[in-house]
Structure 1
Amino acid sequence: MITIWHNPRCSKSRMALAALQERGDDPVVRKYLDDAPSLDELRLAHQTLNIPVIEMMRSKDALFKELGLSATDGDEALLAAMAAHPALIERPIVFANGKAAIGRPTEAIFTIL
């Protein structure tokens, strides 16, 4: 099963979803802004991605700065910020085969399929 945390307003997210569908995949689409991941789900995503928490975030987004967040904040603080403000989650994130990848660039999602 393939799941994509998707924001339909994001061109990269739309590109990743289209790429999956063009391959013949029928991913579960989770519009994470409407169905925000819990703190536990974000922790699991972090473990599965196996990247620093800050790389899961849209750290250049105005909201990141408005909230006074910093790359030096601890992992739990950053995860909690994403749980409270899902717009901070980098997009898209694709999960498949017990792995995860952020679709920036879109081709990165194919490394887990």
Structure 2
Amino acid sequence: MITIYHNPRCGKSRDCVRHFEAENSEIKVVHYLQSPLDREAITTLLQQLNCPALQLVRTKEPIWIANYKGKELSENEIIEALVQHPILMERPVVVKGNKAVIARPLERIVELF
């Protein structure tokens, strides 16, 4: 099973879903803006990504710029920002087993296989 954290308004995210649908892969699409991730889920996702929390943040989002840009934030503070503002999460994120990648560009999904 492949899980895709998806924002349907994002072209790259839509491309990712289409890619796996075209391959007839068994996928679970999570609309993370409608069903936001809690602290535990984000922490698990970061472990699967094997990256710092800041790498999961869309730092060009107006919410980030207005509230967080230029501040020295701990991992926990960045995770809390992601919990409070799901729009800050990079997309798409693809999870297979205990590994995940931020599929930007889409070709990064090969790292899961």
RMSD, matched Cα: 1.2
Q: Give the corresponding residue for 1:10.
A: 10
> SS at the partner of 2:29?
strand
Query: Percent of aligned positions with the same letter in both sequences?
Result: 32
What does the per-residue CA deviation read over 1:54-101, in whole Å, with 9 as the maximum and x for residues that have no partner? 110101111101123447311100001001110000001011021101
1:33 maps to a residue whose letter is L
Aligned residue pair count: 113
The answer to whether the aligner puts 1:104 opposite 2:104 as a matched pair is yes
Q: Give the corresponding residue for 2:32.
A: 32
Decide which moves more: 19-28 or 83-92: 19-28
Q: Distance in 1 between matches of 2:77 and 2:84?
A: 11
1:30 maps to a residue whose letter is V
For structure 1, the residue ranges without an aligned partner over 5 or more in a row are: none
Task: Write out aligned runs for 1:17-96 (5 A).
Answer: 17-70=17-70, 72-96=72-96
For structure 2, the residue ranges without an aligned partner over 5 or more in a row are: none
1:57 maps to a residue whose letter is V
Q: Distance in 2 between matches of 1:47 and 1:32?
A: 18
What does the per-residue CA deviation read over 1:23-44, in whole Å, with 9 as the maximum and x for residues that have no partner? 1113101000000001000000
> SS at the partner of 1:51?
coil
State the TM-score, normalized to the length of structure 2. 0.94
Provide runs of 4+ in structure 1 moved above 2 Å: 68-72
1:37/1:86 contact within 8 Å kept: yes
